[in-house]
């Protein structure tokens, strides 16, 4: 510990009067004045703690709550109810269209040609399963709580009764079955390089969802967040094209399975998997952070197409789903102005359809990516200015109009080509169209101004840091890492999470939903199974973050709607096989799942702090 020289005499004097220790957390403690006593006693080997088991979610005993009209009534609000059909499977090695219905623009031949146009040279595997697997009971031997870590939270507070806690995943990263049962191609089939793992198989959740849901319920998980792929509902994407009946039936059954298991579903309408029609042109470019310049959202047909797709999904499922997310992390796919502007308008239209037309009583929102940008030196005005711009570009771009009914930030209008202000009429329509502010705050990042300043960067589209125009680092002003490092970009930064929640609540004035947060333990993929399962760094991450959420609620007055842990199983991280975010190990060969320690720890932590029903 480093002590200012001027304070040394005072500390010495105090220590002579009474021995005092200053801990690394800043607290002082006084040792006991009594001397220890020593004695002999009979010795025996005993268990240090009683064996405990995970407590499953109770099976519902009453009818499911409804949040909107059922399909027979909701479909009346569609101008033209879409036709439904089914298609077959596009299997690896298919080089010719065998279908004879070549005159049908949406027939089997046309559907197969969608996949032929993608040119999947490396599509060689379809996984172990080709039909839905029936669930089996989870053995009690898999549900024994692991040994506790020595240090843990010491809080004395509880989560609100309506706090939403659960786990999250996305279709592209867990389902597999990409060209089976009528699904159309998406951006994911073009995004990653030829040598990287693909999403063709992943966790095969498309066929194993019943068993996966039962495993989550057995652990005591109360909310399950997943996404529905646009291309599995509308393989041809655009309004007026037929709906895939197999896709509709699949998610209908999945939602019912979640409810019957005692959990509640949270549904995201698009999680990176833009349909192929929007990204098939040559101007598509993948970026190193798995985003996509010109990734589809800027397409002139996007808004009408997305709203049409959303209406179809909502008419089928809004009666049973309490929480909806329109877009997941749109900045990664729309960091040009046209794309962002389309997202803002499309989101608002879907919200108004749900609330004003269907009279939905659930919650609907949108969620963003943004590792909280903290100034490198909070006392340096230049760094503070860089942090403010950082938040404006990532969040204000969408947050100003959607949450506050306010204009796009000046930094956006003066930086992004083609940017133009919203009219007063647009602002009135778009404003206040989200019931919560969704955020995926995996970690924090240290922010400062680029060399030459923000203005020089903002005016130069070829500048390496354009358009954000902020230097992002992982070390603070004293050279320390901002937190304990993971396999990827995530550092354990719980105190910054609390600061971030405070910022979001007081800036955008809506309850905050932590839509994703998780930690890929360094080098976990190289460890033996028992060492992968005993994932203490991940437990530390989750418990620290949840503890700071409690402080945000009780000490800072922040309305935190809930938190969803990412992810419930090791999955496909967009071509990266080394970053394991899951709370279950996935054996990619056998498709077996194994609960990790962190899963038990975080569920036990939250459920112990929720009021009894």
pLDDT at 446: 97
- Rounded to an integer, the average pLDDT of 184-211 is 90
- Reported as half-sphere exposure (CB side, CA atoms, 13 A), residue 265 has a value of 29
pLDDT at 28 over 80: no
Alpha helices, DSSP H, located in 139-229: 171-174, 188-191, 205-218
pLDDT at 118: 84
Residue 27 reports pLDDT greater than 80: no
- As a whole-number percent, the residues of the chain with pLDDT over 70 amount to 91
Give the model confidence (pLDDT) of 82-121 as tens digits.
999 999 999 887 755 678 899 999 999 999 999 988 878 7
Is the pLDDT score of 205 beyond 70? yes
pTM for the structure as a whole: 0.93
118 vs 236 pLDDT, higher one? 236
pLDDT at 96: 56
At 165, give phi and psi (nearest 5°).
-125, 135
pLDDT tens-digit series, residues 429-456: 999 999 999 999 999 999 999 999 999 9
Average pLDDT, the chain: 91
Which residue in 99, 129, 130, 93 sits closest to 112, CA to CA?
Answer: 99
Helix spans in 18-98 (H): 71-74
Phi-psi region of 31 (alpha: psi -120 to 50; beta: other; left: phi over 0): beta
Positions annotated as catalytic residues are 329
Nearest to 155 by CA among 612, 608, 613: 608
Q: What is the pLDDT of residue 1?
A: 44
Interior/surface letters 170-194, b for 16+ CB within 10 angstroms, e for the rest: bbbbbbbbbbbbbbbbbbbbbbbee
Structure-token pair, residue 235: 């393989």
Smallest CA-to-CA distance from 507 within 449, 563, 437 is with 437
Cβ atoms of residues 208 and 133 within 8 Å: yes
Asked whether the predicted pLDDT for residue 194 surpasses 90, the reply is: no
Q: Regarding predicted confidence, which is higher, 121 or 137?
A: 137
* pLDDT of res. 466: 95
Q: Can you give 380-427 as a three-state secondary structure string?
A: CHHHHHHHHHHHHHHHHHHHHHHHHCCCCCHHHHCCCCCCCCCCHHHH
Going by pLDDT thresholds of 50, 70 and 90, the confidence category of residue 280 is confident
Average pLDDT value for residue range 480-509: 97
- The first and second tokens of residue 64, run together, are 């499911």
Residue in 493, 549, 601 with CA at minimum distance from that of residue 158: 549
**What confidence score (pLDDT) does residue 291 get?**
47
Taking a C-beta distance cutoff of 8 angstroms, is the pair 346, 364 a contact? Answer: no
Residue 332: predicted pLDDT: 87
Mutual orientation of helices 302-317 and 337-352 as an angle, nearest 10°?
Answer: 30
Q: What CA–CA distance (Å, rounded) separates 99 from 273?
A: 27
Q: State both tokens at 506.
A: 């007081």
Task: Report residue 166 as tokens.
Answer: 């659960």
According to the model, what pLDDT value does residue 253 have? Answer: 98
pLDDT at position 197 over 60: yes
Spatial distance between the Cα atoms of 126 and 93, rounded to a whole number of angstroms: 11
In this structure, what is the dihedral angle of CA atoms 369, 374, 380, 381, given to the nearest 10 degrees?
30
Task: Provide the 3-class DSSP secondary structure of residue 218.
Answer: helix
pLDDT tens per residue, range 393-434: 999 999 999 999 999 999 999 999 999 999 999 999 999 999
Distances (CA, A) of 401 to 413, 423, 465: 13, 11, 25
Overall average pLDDT of the 528-547 stretch: 98
Tokens representing 219 are 């652990």
Q: Round to whole Å and give the CA distance between 478 and 448.
A: 14
pLDDT band at 21 (very low <50, low <70, confident <90, very high): low
Q: What is the pLDDT of residues 302-338, one digit of tens each?
A: 999 999 999 999 999 999 999 999 999 999 887 789 9
Spatial separation of the C-alpha atoms in residues 594 and 559, rounded to whole Å: 34
Distance separating alpha carbons of residues 108 and 114, to the nearest angstrom: 10
> What's the CA gap between 551 and 532, in Å, rounded?
30
DSSP state of 530: H
């Amino acid at each position: 510990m480093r002590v200012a020289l001027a304070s040394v005499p005072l500390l010495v004097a105090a220590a002579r009067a009474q021995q005092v220790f200053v801990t690394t957390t800043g607290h002082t403690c006084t040792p006991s004045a009594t001397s220890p006593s020593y004695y002999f006693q009979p010795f025996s080997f005993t268990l240090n703690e009683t064996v405990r088991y995970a407590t499953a979610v109770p099976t519902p005993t009453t009818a499911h709550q409804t949040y909107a009209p059922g399909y027979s009534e909701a479909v009346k609000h569609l101008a033209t109810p879409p036709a439904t059909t089914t298609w077959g499977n596009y299997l690896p090695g298919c080089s010719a269209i065998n279908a004879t219905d070549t005159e049908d623009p949406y027939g089997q031949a046309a559907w197969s040609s969608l996949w032929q146009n993608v040119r999947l040279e490396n599509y060689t595997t379809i996984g172990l399963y080709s039909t839905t697997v029936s669930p089996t009971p989870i053995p009690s031997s898999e549900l024994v709580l692991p040994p506790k870590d020595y240090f843990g939270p010491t809080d004395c507070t509880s989560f609100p009764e309506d706090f939403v806690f659960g786990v999250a995943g996305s279709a592209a990263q867990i389902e597999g079955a990409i060209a089976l049962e009528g699904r159309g191609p998406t951006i994911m089939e073009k995004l990653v390089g030829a040598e990287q793992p693909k999403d063709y198989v992943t966790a095969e959740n498309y066929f194993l969802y019943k068993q996966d849901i039962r495993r989550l319920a057995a652990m005591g998980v109360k909310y399950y967040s997943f996404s529905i792929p646009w291309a599995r509902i509308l393989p041809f994407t655009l309004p007026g094209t037929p709906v895939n009946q197999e896709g509709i039936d699949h998610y209908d059954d999945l939602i019912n399975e979640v409810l019957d298991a005692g959990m509640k579903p949270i549904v995201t309408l698009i999680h990176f998997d833009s349909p192929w029609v929007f990204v098939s042109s040559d101007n598509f470019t993948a970026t190193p952070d798995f985003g996509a310049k010109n990734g589809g959202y800027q397409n002139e047909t996007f808004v009408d197409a997305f709203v049409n797709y959303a209406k179809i999904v909502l008419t089928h499922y809004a009666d049973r789903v309490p929480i909806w997310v329109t877009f997941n992390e749109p900045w990664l796919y729309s960091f040009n102005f046209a794309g962002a502007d389309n997202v803002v308008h499309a989101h608002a239209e879907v919200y108004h359809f749900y609330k004003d037309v269907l009279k939905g009583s659930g919650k609907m929102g949108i969620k963003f990516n943004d590792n909280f940008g903290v100034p490198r030196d909070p006392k340096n005005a230049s760094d503070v200015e860089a942090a403010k711009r950082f938040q404006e570009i990532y969040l204000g771009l969408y947050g100003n109009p959607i949450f506050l009914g306010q204009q796009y930030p000046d930094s956006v209008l003066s930086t992004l080509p083609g940017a133009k202000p919203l009219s007063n009429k647009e602002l009135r329509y778009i404003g206040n169209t989200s019931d919560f502010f969704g955020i995926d705050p995996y970690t924090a990042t240290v922010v400062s101004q680029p060399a030459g300043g923000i203005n020089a960067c903002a005016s130069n589209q070829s500048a390496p840091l354009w358009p954000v125009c902020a230097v992002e680092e992982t070390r603070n002003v004293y050279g320390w890492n901002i937190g304990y490092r993971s396999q990827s970009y995530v550092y354990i930064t719980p105190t910054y999470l609390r600061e971030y929640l405070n910022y979001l609540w007081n800036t955008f004035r809506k309850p905050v939903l932590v839509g994703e947060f998780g930690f890929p333990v360094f080098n976990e993929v190289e460890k033996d199974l028992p060492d992968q399962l005993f994932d203490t760094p991940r437990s530390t991450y989750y418990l620290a973050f949840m503890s700071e959420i409690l402080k945000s609620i009780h000490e800072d007055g922040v309305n935190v709607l809930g938190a969803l842990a990412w992810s419930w199983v090791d999955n496909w991280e967009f071509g990266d096989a080394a970053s394991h975010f899951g709370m279950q190990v996935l054996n990619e060969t056998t498709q077996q799942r194994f609960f990790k320690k962190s899963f038990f720890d975080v569920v036990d932590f939250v459920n112990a702090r929720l009021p009894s029903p």
